[in-house]
Amino acid sequence: MIHICNVERYHAPSAEELQALRESHVLLKKYDYERKPLHRGYTDKILTIDVGTKEAMIADIPAEVKEKFIGGKGYCLRYLWDAVNPQTRWDSPENEIVMSAGPIAGITQYGGTGKTLICTISPMTDIPIDSNVGGFFGPYLKFAGFDALEIRGKSDTDVVVVIDATKGTISFEEAPMEHFDAHILCEELTALYADNENDKKNIAVAAAGSAADYCNLGMLNFSFYDPRRGVTRLKQAGRGGIGRVFRNKRIKALVCKIGGVKANLNDVYDFGLINKTGLKFHREVANNDAKQNDMRGVGTAYSLRTLADYDIVPTHNFKFGDAPGIDEMTAAVFKADWLTQGAADGCWYGCSMACAKASDHFLLKTGPYKGQRVCVDGPEYESAAGLGPSCGIYNPQEVLEINFYCDTYGLDTISYGTMTAFLMECYERGILNKERTGGLDLTWGNAADDLEMMHQMARNEGFGKIAALGIHKQKEYFAKMGWGDMNEMNDFGMEQKGLEYSEYSAKESLAQQGGYGLTNKGPQHDEAWLIFMDQVNNQIPTFEDKAEALYFYPMFRTWFGLMGLCKLPWNDIVPADNALTDDPKMVPEHVENYLNLYYGVTGQKIDTKEMIRQSERVYNFQRIFNIRMGKGLRANDAIPYRSAGPVFEDEYLWREERYDTQLVELAGYTPEQVKSMSLQERMAATRKHREDQYQKLIDAVYPKRGWNMNGVPTIAHLKELGMDLPELLEIVEPLQ
């Protein structure tokens, strides 16, 4: 086991290297500004930068916007709406990247209080994507005087935008010599803008990576400096191609520099309450984490082994769920051999849950950095499951190397994993072959060629250009080339609305099929993770119950995105006496903590009803935003059959007894009938039943959410929410 005491510090760029970088910078434009300090979690200012014209503008955030949209994702969507029109596509100059951290973000007394939400029109879905990320940039932006940042326009050269709160300046600089890959670029810029070693922790960088120039699944890294290791580490706003938009605007990086993090920079309403709530939480983590999930030991990857026991880990592109080789890469293996223990691995100050684990001085075996030793963050559960079992890979070293290159190249690990699994299945089915892949052997488990494909993506070469498209456009391309049948690929290509699925197999949970299918941005589990409640606990057996869950959880979880909160401290650790509460799954004491934090920061008392209401306003706004951009109706909530049931014979045979039993118990066949049916007949009957169930689920969910049967929010519901804004009514009125 590796302990932080034995980890050598990383080498920083030398003084000569930094001098050369400094001299190469060209200042294009610089603005002075007066920093407005925070008051009760807000500055009420938004910074708009146009990288095309190199303008920086500061405006007040109107009280009505604050009241209805709160912050975080609410602000991102509101300002994005105002910037775009129905014809705007991801690469239109008016498309914006908007980021906002939310009122609670930046406090340091409670766990998980440093998240930033980012929205843009996605190159993968053509609708707004939202993605959350840890790291320093969002909270530092608040400390620099801004509740939100909107970025518009397109630069004609690569540009770095520097917000320096210590000097009160915003500058646009050409920075031609820095590397493009995030692990080096963020290190270079951190060293360059810090006054000295001690000042590095005051620098936050946002950067994509070289593959984000070409790949729709490009993501955005946010840095956080780790003084113990002496290295700049990265967290990711992974989903939906934000990094692609960032690079299309030719932004090389954003830098935010502050004078230091202090206990009460948010100038909160009741600091004592926040402190008290935080202390209670930290004690709970210290006492219970090792007995519960061991987040401090292994991070979210703790669940890899155990989820395989429930057939939930996507295996061979979600065909199966039991990840048969998982014993080779369990959390215990990662902990024993790879992940450094004993470090304060929080992605924001004060997060005692500290799940941002790292593998130190990891030796790379491939690609441009072959032979170098680097710090690899993660892997989180999603990355490990998607890059590993879904592609038939069970070697921790290989998974870590793929994870590292995804991060530094600026690729979303979830989309990359799900997409590679799709390509591997295409290879298995003969839709792809070596001739079509330019020699890549995409057999299940072939990590070497998986990595080679990713290196090609970063170089914009060969089959990497096709991999860069993502599943949705790959299906179209393969069909156009006459390589594959569109209907068949639609069944097993795990994407919806253009976004690749995140890494849970939902076949045995109808509610989770809805948890993926009835999302705003596409199939990401952050709206609703209902598999256990449904599949195992059987707590929501009826359509009515499932619909209630698919109303409540997406709203509850949206709230974290309005506030700048990480969801993990809500339920990845629970109080010791949680079992004795009325509703243990909701972790009532933690919900109370969140209401206290909101009150402590803003001075406004709310209850859970108002919490849901705040989210519901933003949630419905996003749904209507989707409709405005051409998606967001019932037809767009259809899911690939693979997420609901077995597409191919080997998939059915894997759990034949289960499926046969369900035909009797759930679909109304007699045992004799099932016995007399061929495999194809049983598969067809299973499919019909499961597809019917999904439609019935939609019929139950839409009214619960205040939508009509086409998935359009009703005018009455918008009125009730106080969201009968003219621009929303204009969209929904013709669809009532």
Site residues, another protein (CB under 8 A): 292-294, 300, 302-303, 305-306, 309-310, 381, 525-526, 529, 532-533, 536-539, 541, 557, 560, 566-568, 570-572, 574, 578-580, 584-585, 587
CB of 572 or CB of 616, closer to ligand SF4:
572
Asked if 587 is part of the footprint of ligand SF4 (rule: CB under 6 A), the reply reads no
The token pair that represents 665 in the structure block = 């118990």
Nearest to 260, CA basis, from 106, 81, 83, 80: 106
Asked if 234 is part of the footprint of ligand SF4 (rule: CB under 6 A), the reply reads no
Nearest to 559, CA basis, from 134, 113, 70: 70
Among 218, 378, 569, 632, binds ligand SF4 (CB under 6 A): 569
CB of 380 or CB of 407, closer to another protein:
380
Residue 602 contact, options another protein, ligand SF4, none, Cβ 5-8 Å cut-off depending on partner type: none
Asked if 564 is part of the footprint of ligand SF4 (rule: CB under 6 A), the reply reads no
Residue 451 Cβ vs another protein, minimum distance, rounded to whole Å: 27
Asked if 134 is part of the footprint of ligand SF4 (rule: CB under 6 A), the reply reads yes
Residue 381 contact, options another protein, ligand SF4, none, Cβ 5-8 Å cut-off depending on partner type: another protein
Helices 588-602 and 543-563 cross at an angle (nearest 10°) of: 30
Pairwise CA distance, residues 266 & 698, whole Å: 42
Pairwise CA distance, residues 111 & 258, whole Å: 22
- Per the CB < 8 A criterion, the answer to whether 115 and 96 are in contact is no
Sequence letter at residue 408: T
Q: Rounded to whole angstroms, what are the CA distances from 407 to 9, 81, 404, 513?
A: 21, 29, 5, 29
Asked if 597 is part of the footprint of ligand SF4 (rule: CB under 6 A), the reply reads no
Residue 568 Cβ vs ligand SF4, minimum distance, rounded to whole Å: 4
Residue 356 Cβ vs ligand SF4, minimum distance, rounded to whole Å: 4
HSE, side-chain direction, 13 A CA sphere, residue 125: 33
Residue 303 contact, options ligand SF4, another protein, none, Cβ 5-8 Å cut-off depending on partner type: another protein
- Per the CB < 8 A criterion, the answer to whether 77 and 625 are in contact is yes
Q: What is the DSSP string of 55-67?
A: EEEEEEPPHHHHH
CB of 147 or CB of 380, closer to another protein:
380
Site for ligand SF4 in 383-402 (CB under 6 A): none
- Per the CB < 8 A criterion, the answer to whether 705 and 671 are in contact is no
Q: Rounded to whole angstroms, what are the CA distances from 216 to 354, 410, 533, 725?
A: 31, 10, 34, 33
Residue 223 Cβ vs ligand SF4, minimum distance, rounded to whole Å: 14
Asked if 72 is part of the footprint of ligand SF4 (rule: CB under 6 A), the reply reads no
CB of 102 or CB of 484, closer to another protein:
102
Residue 555 contact, options ligand SF4, another protein, none, Cβ 5-8 Å cut-off depending on partner type: none
Asked if 133 is part of the footprint of ligand SF4 (rule: CB under 6 A), the reply reads no
Residue 473 contact, options ligand SF4, another protein, none, Cβ 5-8 Å cut-off depending on partner type: none
Residue 351 contact, options another protein, ligand SF4, none, Cβ 5-8 Å cut-off depending on partner type: ligand SF4
Residue 138 contact, options ligand SF4, another protein, none, Cβ 5-8 Å cut-off depending on partner type: none
> Residues 429-448, buried b or exposed e (16+ Cβ, 10 A)?
eebbeeebbeebebebbbbe
Residue 307 Cβ vs another protein, minimum distance, rounded to whole Å: 8
Residue 384 Cβ vs ligand SF4, minimum distance, rounded to whole Å: 15
Residue 126 Cβ vs ligand SF4, minimum distance, rounded to whole Å: 29
The C-alpha angle 128, 134, 140, rounded to 5 degrees, equals 100
Q: Which residue has the tokens 């009741």?
A: 270
Asked if 517 is part of the footprint of ligand SF4 (rule: CB under 6 A), the reply reads no
CB of 111 or CB of 367, closer to another protein:
111
Residue 373 contact, options another protein, ligand SF4, none, Cβ 5-8 Å cut-off depending on partner type: none
Asked if 355 is part of the footprint of ligand SF4 (rule: CB under 6 A), the reply reads yes
Q: Rounded to whole angstroms, what are the CA distances from 527 to 47, 543, 564?
A: 29, 18, 15
Residue 293 contact, options another protein, ligand SF4, none, Cβ 5-8 Å cut-off depending on partner type: another protein
- Per the CB < 8 A criterion, the answer to whether 393 and 384 are in contact is no
Q: Provide CB contacts within 8 A for 348, sequence distance 6+.
A: 108, 112, 113, 114, 115, 134, 135, 136, 139, 224, 566
Residue 551 Cβ vs another protein, minimum distance, rounded to whole Å: 16
- φ and ψ at 253, to 5 degrees? -165, 160
Site track 519-558 with ligand SF4 (rule: CB under 6 A), x = hit: ----------------------------------------
Residue 347 contact, options ligand SF4, another protein, none, Cβ 5-8 Å cut-off depending on partner type: ligand SF4
Pairwise CA distance, residues 573 & 285, whole Å: 7
- Per the CB < 8 A criterion, the answer to whether 71 and 106 are in contact is no
Asked if 144 is part of the footprint of ligand SF4 (rule: CB under 6 A), the reply reads no
Residue 97 Cβ vs another protein, minimum distance, rounded to whole Å: 24
Residue 285 Cβ vs another protein, minimum distance, rounded to whole Å: 14
- Report helix, strand or coil for 590: helix
- Per the CB < 8 A criterion, the answer to whether 456 and 467 are in contact is yes
Asked if 112 is part of the footprint of ligand SF4 (rule: CB under 6 A), the reply reads yes
Residue 154 contact, options another protein, ligand SF4, none, Cβ 5-8 Å cut-off depending on partner type: none
The token pair that represents 186 in the structure block = 């963020």
Q: Rounded to whole angstroms, what are the CA distances from 504 to 210, 260, 426, 523, 654?
A: 29, 40, 20, 10, 18
Site track 325-354 with ligand SF4 (rule: CB under 6 A), x = hit: ---------------------xxx--x-xx
Asked if 111 is part of the footprint of ligand SF4 (rule: CB under 6 A), the reply reads yes
Asked if 161 is part of the footprint of ligand SF4 (rule: CB under 6 A), the reply reads no
Q: How many residues bind ligand SF4 (CB under 6 A)?
A: 14
Q: What is the DSSP string of 632-679?
A: -SGGGG---GGGTS--SHHHHHHTHHHHHHHHHHTT---HHHHHHS-H
Residue 362 Cβ vs ligand SF4, minimum distance, rounded to whole Å: 20
Asked if 646 is part of the footprint of ligand SF4 (rule: CB under 6 A), the reply reads no
Residue 557 contact, options ligand SF4, another protein, none, Cβ 5-8 Å cut-off depending on partner type: another protein
Residue 536 contact, options another protein, ligand SF4, none, Cβ 5-8 Å cut-off depending on partner type: another protein
Residue 418 contact, options another protein, ligand SF4, none, Cβ 5-8 Å cut-off depending on partner type: none
- Report helix, strand or coil for 405: helix
- Report helix, strand or coil for 116: strand
Question: Which residues sit at the interface with ligand SF4, rule CB under 6 A?
Answer: 111-112, 134, 346-348, 351, 353-356, 566, 568-569
